[in-house]
Amino acid sequence: MPELSLRDIDQIRNDIRKQDIIFSHLLDELIDHVCCDVEYEMQTGLSFHEAYLMVKEKMGSRRMKEIQEETLYAVDTKYRQMKKTMKISAIAGTIMLGFASLFKIMHWPGAGALMTLGAISLAFVFIPSALVVLWKETRSGKRLFLYISAFLAGMLFIVGAAFKVQHWTGAGVVLLMATFCGNFLFIPSLLVIKLRDQEKRSKRAVYILGAAALICYITGLFLKIQHWPGSGSLLLCGIIIIFLVVFPWYTWITWKNESNVSAQFIFMVIGSLAVMVPSALLNLNLQRSYEAGYFVHQQQQQAMYNYEFNRGQSFLLNHKDSASVPLLMEIQSRTNELLKVINGIEADMIAESEGEHGVPAVISQQILQKESGPEIQFGLLIRPFDTRAVGDFLLPGCSTRNMLNDGLKGYADYLSGLTGGSEPGRFEKLLDPSVFLPADASDGTSITLMSGLHSLALLKNTILTVESIAFSTVSAH
């Protein structure tokens, strides 16, 4: 029977140690088992390398780790509990997030609760238990920082995404922390480990280029989620480098001598497509489909405005022979003056958001003049989620907000005088600006243009409703 040389045994021992086998007795048994299998295959006339390759193919790339996991599961109660917790929380969290996405799309109740529970299950149960399980399976001090940074980045990303979907404050900060952990902790530590592997020296250039492209891609994705400029260029650059340079290069180096298509290669292709397709969709500006959900609310407010405007016109037409016509016309004139002030604020906000810093844009296409007044074309807005305009025009203390407050108070006081004060403070309560706009200067630091325009649309519709009440009250006297 052929016998292995000491050099052959050392090669087998080194290969098995790289599988992170932490039990010394299990390591010795696995080495002995593999050596016996190799010697058995060599009886057929195969060389050591041929026989060893055949044994590795029979065992599979994960068989030794599976043996260790089974051993740990049998002898370590804490590992067994953590393993169960990890599996249950992963399944439960994924299912809840899946149903939360469905409920969110269909606008069904309960989406927020499912989203929150799913994020908590994955971020605060699955990830910590997975970290404990991974540590127990490897006991690798060199990779501990890699594991912690990876799980920290994943935890922050899950929490940040949940906050972003729920429109909670702090989402941007949490996502920024996740991006920082991924770009400056996880990817560099992974790159260092890969560069230290002496057997993969031919792949060092691929690893460095891939790490740079991945940092570029993650940064672009974060900017895209936050609707910040520069996201498209970074996403496009990262995708081009990863999928047109790094991926083909790595594939050629890794599998150039393989005669069969490996399962790892198939999974790599599928995983790459899972990353590339959503990124390409984002970069093709299909964000407009996402924005269209916000446009629906604006269009509904515009339809309500047109209805209230036409109702006021009809009321005046039906009472043209009434003795109260001069007073009704005066009410309409004051209403139009107040609406003109709000329309001007809307135009200024859009011009600032569409233009560069300090240089308002020309917005002749974004606002159409119709019989009922200016009508915003939301689909033509370039930066509908810009946050500068609200801070400059609608926060307490700014000149336009003060002008709007004075206009609303004067209008309310005028109507209260006409109705004889039968319900003191009624119009002041209906036209209270703090109901529609930020009540504190710190509240508007992250309010988007769309939210600001929606608040002003609600205010305009309320003004028309108040006008209708005043019309009815005055004509009844």
Q: 192 with 211: CB under 8 angstroms?
A: no
Counting Cα atoms < 13 Å in the Cβ hemisphere of 229 gives: 9
* Greater model confidence, 55 or 330: 330
Centre a 10 Å sphere on the Cβ of residue 328 and count the other Cβ atoms it contains.
20
**What average pLDDT does the chain have?**
82
Long-range contacts of 397-402 (CB under 8 A, 24+ apart): 397/441, 400/345, 400/348, 401/433, 401/437
pLDDT tens-place string over residues 203-237: 889 999 999 999 998 998 888 877 777 887 888 88
Specify the pLDDT at position 99.
92
Q: 390 with 400: CB under 8 angstroms?
A: no
Buried/exposed code over 358-386 (b: 16+ C-beta within 10 A; e: otherwise):
eeeeebeebbeeeebbbebebeebebbbb
Short-list 476, 290, 475, CA closest to 379: 290
* Greater model confidence, 400 or 15: 400
Helices (runs of H) and strands (runs of E) counted in the chain: 21, 2
Specify the pLDDT at position 275.
65
Q: How confident is the model at residue 424 (pLDDT cuts 50, 70, 90)?
A: low
- Using the predicted structure, report yes or no on whether residue 17 has a pLDDT greater than 80: no
Buried/exposed code over 185-220 (b: 16+ C-beta within 10 A; e: otherwise):
bbbebbbeebeeeeeeeebeebbebbbbbbbbbbbb
- Report which listed range, 231-235, 382-386, 456-460, is most confident: 456-460
* Greater model confidence, 396 or 287: 396
Long-range contacts of 328-335 (CB under 8 A, 24+ apart): 328/471, 328/474, 328/475, 331/415, 331/418, 331/467, 331/470, 331/471, 331/474, 332/467, 334/411, 334/414, 335/411, 335/463, 335/464, 335/467
Q: Which amino acid is at 200?
A: K
Q: What percent of the chain has pLDDT over 70?
A: 82
> How far apart, in whole angstroms, are the C-alpha atoms of residue 224 and residue 211?
20
> How far apart, in whole angstroms, are the C-alpha atoms of residue 222 and residue 338?
41
> How far apart, in whole angstroms, are the C-alpha atoms of residue 377 and residue 373?
13
* Greater model confidence, 152 or 255: 152
- Using the predicted structure, report yes or no on whether residue 265 has a pLDDT greater than 90: no
Pairing of strands 373-376, 367-370: antiparallel
- Overall pTM surpassing 0.75 (yes/no): no
Residues ≥6 apart with Cβ < 8 Å to 466:
415, 427, 430, 431
* Greater model confidence, 189 or 243: 189
φ, ψ dihedrals at 190, nearest 5°:
-65, -40
Specify the pLDDT at position 264.
67
Specify the pLDDT at position 153.
93
Q: Which amino acid is at 150?
A: A
Q: Which of 44-48, 403-407, 468-472 has the lowest mean pLDDT?
A: 44-48
Q: How confident is the model at residue 286 (pLDDT cuts 50, 70, 90)?
A: very low
- Using the predicted structure, report yes or no on whether residue 45 has a pLDDT greater than 50: yes
> How far apart, in whole angstroms, are the C-alpha atoms of residue 255 and residue 131?
31
Q: Which amino acid is at 276?
A: M
> How far apart, in whole angstroms, are the C-alpha atoms of residue 454 and residue 302?
10
Mean of pLDDT values over 104-115:
86
Q: How confident is the model at residue 292 (pLDDT cuts 50, 70, 90)?
A: low
- Using the predicted structure, report yes or no on whether residue 79 has a pLDDT greater than 80: no
Specify the pLDDT at position 257.
63
Specify the pLDDT at position 209.
94
pLDDT tens-place string over residues 120-176: 999 999 999 988 888 777 766 677 888 899 999 999 999 998 888 887 888 889 999
H/E run at residue 374 = strand 373-376
> How far apart, in whole angstroms, are the C-alpha atoms of residue 138 and residue 133?
9
pLDDT tens-place string over residues 171-214: 889 999 999 999 999 999 999 988 887 667 788 899 999 999 99
> How far apart, in whole angstroms, are the C-alpha atoms of residue 359 and residue 353?
10
* Greater model confidence, 90 or 416: 90
- Using the predicted structure, report yes or no on whether residue 281 has a pLDDT greater than 70: no
> How far apart, in whole angstroms, are the C-alpha atoms of residue 322 and residue 315?
11
Q: How far is CA 279 from the centre of its chain?
A: 12
Q: Which of 17-26, 101-110, 312-321 has the lowest mean pLDDT?
A: 17-26
pLDDT tens-place string over residues 18-43: 766 655 556 666 777 778 887 777 87
Centre a 10 Å sphere on the Cβ of residue 139 and count the other Cβ atoms it contains.
13
Mean of pLDDT values over 71-89:
76
